[in-house]
Every structure is written in structure tokens, then in C-alpha cells.
Amino acid sequence: MPELSHSTTGSSTTGSTRGWTGASAILFDLDGVLTPTAIVHERAWQELFDGYLQDVPEADGYRESDYFDHIDGKPRFDGVRDFLASRSIVLPEGPADDDPANNTVHGLGNRKNKVFNDIVEAGGVAPYEGSVRFLEAAQALGLKVAVVSSSRNAPAVLQAAGLAHHFPVVVDGVVAAAAGLPGKPSPATYDYAAQLLDLPSEECVVVEDAVSGVQAGNAGTFHSVIGVDRGAGRQTLLDAGATLVVEDLNELL
């Protein structure tokens, strides 16, 4: 198996350690790794909770740090629950398809999803150039690839970004729910992607920008966990279990 070289900038490993030796597949998170849609998610979450908290004046307002502290990388409804818990707010769950106008866990989650989709449809999605170069280089070397995303919008985002044809295997929030898999920081969705690629997890590299995603990779038996620092912080990702951290996947070429 040919191996990709990588820069050791931001790495917790030594310069002689090659993070790709023996790897047969790359398992990519989507938002913040392949596409800048993590920024869109941040905006959608802020719009959601800014609006909701107007009717809860006793609670602290939404802060930028809340996204990374309570939401980033998690399944949508877990993000709602964890943020509300940070404000000591408990809401009824509501049905999974609850009306976005309702102040329930599922209603708020569905409201956030509508805001996200409206933003994507209005502005489109352009993937990170460095990520596309890395993806194409990995495939040229014969590595298999998959997307593992907590988002239920992953197929639509991949299509909008022009990347869908690269990924025969996509494990998103819909697939995880149908298979009864817990979301990140559990490694279950990444393990499932490895199974679909017919590979042992030990031969699969996890690429993540979210703390919960890095924790998921670290909790499994994966070949390595590459952290991409899009705002979570290099040391934070290393502390969560990243093997090495880069600011752009272009650094791995």
C-alpha cells in the first residue's frame, strides 16, 4: 500500500512517525473537514438559540463558545439537549418530526435544520480546496474513502459541493438512526463505515475537526486520528486524542 507523507506541524508525534503507514482507508467527517458548512451550522445554531432565548430572559444568552462546548460534531438533537442542559432548561422531547415552531427538543432541532437548509440553498457550498486535493490524492493512491457525519443533511451537502461521486459510503445521521448507532463521541458510526468498506478499523484513518469526533476516533481502534483545526484549537484536539493536528488537509500532501 502506498503511503501519503504528512507535515508534522502541530503533531503530537515525532517527525519520524508516519501517520499513514499501513492505512487502507480515510474516514472523513463532513462539516468543517470537507466543506465549510460547519460555519453555516454555527450560524444556524446561533439564529435558533438567539430566537428561542428571547422568551427565556432568565437564561444566559447564546455565546460563540457554546457551539464548540456543547454542540459541535454531535447529532442534532443531542446538541439541542446539551445546550439546553448548559442553561438548566428541560423541554419535552416531542415527536421526531415535530413542527419546527414547537419549543420541544425535536421541534428546536427541526427548526435549526430548516435554517441550515435555507442558508445552503441560498448560498450553495464550496468545498475546501486543500481537502479536495487530499481526497483526490488519497484515492489516486488506492485508499478507500467514506464520509461519517452526524448531520442528516450530508448527502445533500455532498451533492451541492460536487463531492457525492467520490463517496459510495456515507454514514450520516439518518443511517445511524436506522442502524441504531449512538452518535459521536461514540466510535460506532466510524466502526460502521469501516464495516461497509469491508476493512478492519485498524486500517482506517479518521479525519475530524470537532472535539466529539476526535474523541470518537480515539475511543475506537482506528489507525490514527487526524485533527483539522477550524476553530476548536490545536491543543484542544490533541487533548481529545488526535494523533496530529493540521490547519488544512493540504498540509498532508
CA distance 226 to 47: 30
CA distance 50 to 30: 25
Q: Is 209 marked active-site?
A: no
Q: Is 180's pLDDT higher than 90?
A: yes
Could you tell me the pTM of the whole model? 0.77
Say if residue 44 is exposed, middle or buried (CB neighbours under 10 Å; 0-12, 13-18, 19+).
buried
Residues 6+ apart with CB under 8 A from 15: 8
> What does the pLDDT read at residue 37?
86
Q: Is 29 marked active-site?
A: yes
Confidence of residue 215 (pLDDT cuts 50, 70, 90): very high
Residue tagged active-site, from 29, 66, 98, 191: 29
Q: Is 92's pLDDT higher than 50?
A: yes
> What does the pLDDT read at residue 21?
64
Residue tagged active-site, from 31, 78, 191, 229: 31
Average pLDDT over residues 48-77: 93
Confidence of residue 19 (pLDDT cuts 50, 70, 90): low
Residues 6+ apart with CB under 8 A from 118: none
Average pLDDT over residues 25-52: 93
